[in-house]
Structure 1
């Protein structure tokens, strides 16, 4: 399959995935206890007012009919009306998508920097104490929850040292680099152990390859062999992991945004769940799923560009 036909066919193949996600999200919300209309109007609302609001938002229709109209409206770019925010869901999401996108990209950059630093150091110092220490930290780091890391960073760098702000999202790029450093570091730390362990193992495999041994026999410095050959030959397996890593980062924003009180999609998703605002939850969940799908699609294309031997 050539690259052009892959780019055309892959989005079509992903449609059933997105439909499946929308069905699961819709059914889970239907099974969640609580009435969103009563939560919005309060316990003293009359039955007439409750029925009026239900009819206005289409919540008085059978479940299959509700889902059918939801999908139909999504295809038109209409995600419904938010019950809790009392406005179009698309407008609510548009106001909150920028912090989440910035946080994901920021976290990915920090994670890659940490990954390369740890993996290169461990591979170059293979078998020494620093290698064992980095491997131990990576193994331990896999099991540490993001919210725990976030709370530790808040206690250390915000409350005690008072270096970074506890929460917020600034109006400028530089301001956001400052305000979102700890949240980005939190989600970056969450995925770094996976990438670092994989990249270290790949480095070591490449260092033991015949071409590396041949370079040593010719008297080439180890640093030259590593930087000119081993490093670049080890990137492809790490690139293949980026799709999974971005999925972890997207999921991590749901927790981290609530720990640091960032007005993003993760924070919006939790508020939607607590208020039983099904239109908001469905739209945010679908949007996050689209982000995961697009990231995996981009990784597939990037892999094929880096290695022409890969079949798309």
Structure 2
């Protein structure tokens, strides 16, 4: 019970500390489009827009008001979760982002699970057979996977497993839990390859360091079996650096889903961002920028909590 109260206090204190960070995020997202050359209303309508239409859109976007008042209105929209009204979709931005958010979260979560399923056994195999054939093979394969562009790997997998061998769908999100797992396997696997390439090397190094520790020799002297030794002592103590790498990389993956969602036509936030930039939908771009930043902040918070769960010696401070 005491540990649960500590975790709750830690979460609340971190959320309070994040308030100025989130305010800074909204300010950057607001100013980012204001510092771009040209008038937003003119850029949106293009050469076909008349002076009356440009003036009407300028008023609609609130661009004729003072900058500080525009920011306060944008901040009010952020707090309400509406983020203003989309120019392309003619409706509030917030519900559209909320609708697309789950596809992106499913992609990121699925890819994280696949990456962990690859990381743990391959890292142990690589560490226990250090400098052997399997160690070098795993290193070469995942360095190659990390060096290749994600969209190129995605296209190759589509050609192989969707067209030549029609095992997985070419695109889409699916309906229902199992159908979505089926649809999202290939894009999630592409993302997981890049994640596993980093986490395997990190966990391998940690396992090698733990295996050389004195308490491992003590545990062996007490007659603890190899399986129990690896599970109880080595696995848990080698997780900390891997959690750090996984948290940082997952934060990057959140923003990097744009390419994968475009290749596999997944109706997520990345796909919505590409179409919004093409349509010059400034309110939507602002809302998505804030949403991506908030997701990264929350992932960093979850990473800190994972540290505590993996190692109770880490203090909640």
TM-score w.r.t. the length of structure 2 is: 0.90
For the aligned residue pairs, the C-alpha RMSD in angstroms reads 2.2
| Alignment partner, residue 293 of structure 1 | 297
Deviating more after overlay: 27-36 vs 2-11: 27-36
Q: CA 1:17–1:144 in structure 2 vs 1: closer, same or farther (change >3 Å)?
A: farther
- Counterpart of 2:101 in structure 1 is 97
CA distance in 1, matches of 2:90, 2:37: 21
CA–CA separation in structure 1 for the residues paired with 2:16 and 2:314: 21
Q: Contact 1:112/1:192 (CA < 8 Å) preserved in 2?
A: yes
Q: Residues 33 and 158 of structure 1: is their aligned pair in 2 closer, same or farther, counting only changes over 3 Å?
A: farther
Number of equivalent positions: 312
The aligned counterpart of 2:263 is 259
Offset from partner CA, 1:70-123 (integer Å, 9 cap, x none): 012212223100011111101211221121111111111111111112212111
Give unpaired runs (5+ residues) of structure 1: none
Alignment partner, residue 234 of structure 1: 238
User: What is the CA-CA distance between 1:43 and the residue it aligns to?
Assistant: 4.1
Tell me, in whole angstroms, the C-alpha distance in 1 between the residues paired with 2:226 and 2:10.
40
Distance 1:121 1:97, change over 3 A: same
Q: Are the aligned partners of 1:191 and 1:248 in contact in 2 as well (CA < 8 Å)?
A: no
Q: For 1:193, which of 185, 194, 197 is the aligned residue?
A: 197
- Tell me, yes or no, if the aligned pair for 1:188 and 1:249 is still in contact at 8 Å: no
Q: Is the 8 A contact 1:250 1:292 kept in 2?
A: yes
SS of the counterpart of 1:168?
coil
List gaps (5 residues or longer) in structure 2: none
Correspondence for 1:135 among 130, 134, 139: 139
Q: What does residue 216 of structure 2 align with?
A: 212
1:164 maps to 2:168: yes
User: 1:46 corresponds to which residue?
Assistant: 50
How much does 1:38 deviate? 4.9
Give how far 1:200 is off.
0.7
Do structure 1's residue 152 and structure 2's residue 147 form an aligned pair?
no
Q: CA deviation at 1:31?
A: 3.6
Which of 104, 126, 133 aligns to 2:130? It is: 126
Distance 2:181 2:308 in 1: 32
Q: Compute the displacement of 1:292 (Å).
A: 1.2
Counterpart-to-counterpart distance in 1, 2:305 and 2:230: 26
Distance 2:126 2:238 in 1: 14
- Displacement of 1:56 in angstroms is 1.8
Deviation at 1:33, TM superposition (A): 5.2
In 1, Cα distance between equivalents of 2:10 and 2:223: 45
Residue 178 of structure 2 corresponds to residue 174 of structure 1: yes
Structure 1 residue corresponding to 2:308, chosen from 297, 304, 309: 304
